[in-house]
Amino acid sequence: MSERTATEVEGIRVPGDKSLSHRALMLAPLARGTSRIRGILDADDVRSTAGCLRTLGARVPEDWSGEVEVPGPAELHDASEDLDCGNSGTTARILSGIIAGLGVEARLDGDASLRRRPMERIVYPLQAMGAKIDYEGEEGHLPFRIHSRATGSLRTMRHIPKVASAQVKSCMLLAGLAGGVRMEVVEPGRSRDHTERLLEAMGAPVEYHPVGEDAPLDEGTHVTLDPEGWDGRLEPLDFDVPGDLSSAAFLAVAALAAGRPIRLPGVGLNPTRSGFLDVIRRAGARVEVHDERSSCGEPRGDLRVEAGELRPFRVEPAEIPTLLDEVPALVALAARIPGESEIRGAEELRVKESDRLALLAENLDGLGVDVEEREDGLRVSGSEEPLRGSVRTGGDHRIAMAFGALSELPANRIEFDDRECVGVSYPGFWEDVRRAVGG
């Protein structure tokens, strides 16, 4: 068997889903017994969550190579030192909900990139519930202190955020859960529903309408968590974390650009996250899903992706929440498809780990690709010309991986100012992307 075929048959197993790894670790200490979690993503962002949880009194093991046992219920207490959220917005935003709900005291901080990201979107609604939170640096940003609070002093709430954000929705649901008050979140779009699925698997009184494959994309989300009449017991998790589709996307793009098929076993296929697959299908890729199964309500399957005749594509605003973190991968793909591709309604990308729209445009331009940056998206005129130049990552893992999907192709010569930043979500990326293109 040639090496090419061997790689395709075995496939590349991407690391565990980042969103689900954070959530499983945060929910486990609240359960009434020991949770068992397999396939946790071992990367800097999830290590940040684990570190914060330990400071709050949870017992999270150091070794994540096999099954991780997290005992519950943990007596979470005031944090004796700062909670360092590192580069992770998910850690800062979702954990704040649990801390505020429990009424313990903590000061949260993060790295320079995280300090630039907006926190008002969680601080304001938590304050409206009755939490006392003070900014200790710039208004609206980390660091901030959540003060301790008497039990029973939180108000029930109906929150209607302006943008669809799973981190905001999860923060509020977990504040309601930990604080024992009813919480309703009405979102304008379809943000990922991992928190709802895990809570449901644990027996929490959460009501939502899981988005089916055929649900209209512009349908918002409406979630209610009502602890009235519930005994407050959360069942421990017994959970197989699926592979991260957001990581798999970069390998799929690398393989598509190289014109070779790729197999990606055990990848998460939650329909609130799978918009990337719809777009590459529209662009002419053949996508097969085999052996679909699920754990704690989270579906996963074995993916096979193969390039057909690739054509330019458009991504519409209503799709953005379902492929939010995959936009950089799609932009890299667009750069390799002759013709004009377009992404609209993606202004949230400006407040991720970097201003992703600006950095994608700057770097494509630097590599000689015709690109137009718009307030809410990009227009990319792709070609098959070799790409030469250097990439400024801004320390953003997904910018590095987007151009990493192109840099391993034999004709291209692309330098990076920082290759290590992939470590927040995908430490083995460079090795895997080389395999994806057949190297």
Q: For ligand S3P, which is the closer residue by CB, 275 or 312?
A: 275
DSSP state of 264: E
* Residue 355 is a catalytic residue: no
324 binds ligand S3P (CB under 6 A): yes
Contact 114, 127 (CB under 8 A): no
Residue tagged active-site, from 45, 109, 278, 325 = 325
Q: Could you say which residues in the range 18-57 bind ligand S3P, by CB under 6 A?
A: 19
CA 344 – CA 414 distance, rounded (Å): 27
Q: For ligand S3P, which is the closer residue by CB, 96 or 170?
A: 170
* Token output for 285: 């890729």
CA 209 – CA 222 distance, rounded (Å): 7
CA 155 – CA 55 distance, rounded (Å): 27
State which of residues 8, 196, 325, 326 lies at the interface with ligand S3P (CB under 6 A): 325
191 binds ligand S3P (CB under 6 A): yes
Contact 233, 184 (CB under 8 A): no
- Is 139 in a helix, a strand, or coil? coil
* Token output for 262: 């790729």
- Is 337 in a helix, a strand, or coil? coil
State how far the alpha carbon of 236 is from the alpha carbons of 27, 50, 142, 212, 273, in Å.
Answer: 9, 17, 32, 26, 25
Tell me the β-bridge partners of 207: 224
348 binds ligand S3P (CB under 6 A): yes
What is the pattern of x (binds ligand S3P, CB under 6 A) and - over residues 57-76? Answer: --------------------
Q: For ligand S3P, which is the closer residue by CB, 169 or 336?
A: 169
Helix intervals (H) in 376-428: 397-407
- To which residue do tokens 């009755």 refer? 130
Q: For ligand S3P, which is the closer residue by CB, 90 or 96?
A: 90
CB of 94 to ligand S3P, least distance (A): 7
198 binds ligand S3P (CB under 6 A): no
What is the pattern of x (binds ligand S3P, CB under 6 A) and - over residues 241-270? Answer: ------------------------------
Contact 41, 16 (CB under 8 A): yes
HSE value, Cβ hemisphere, 13 Å, CA-based, for 91? 26
Q: Could you say which residues in the range 115-174 bind ligand S3P, by CB under 6 A?
A: 165-168, 170
CB of 184 to ligand S3P, least distance (A): 18
CB of 20 to ligand S3P, least distance (A): 8
Phi, psi of 173 (to 5 degrees): -65, -40
* Token output for 332: 């890299």
CB of 114 to ligand S3P, least distance (A): 12
Q: For ligand S3P, which is the closer residue by CB, 222 or 388?
A: 222
CB of 45 to ligand S3P, least distance (A): 9
Q: For ligand S3P, which is the closer residue by CB, 241 or 257?
A: 241
187 binds ligand S3P (CB under 6 A): no
CB of 121 to ligand S3P, least distance (A): 8
Residue numbers annotated as active site: 325
* Residues in touch with ligand S3P (CB under 6 A): 19, 90, 165-168, 170, 191-192, 324-325, 348
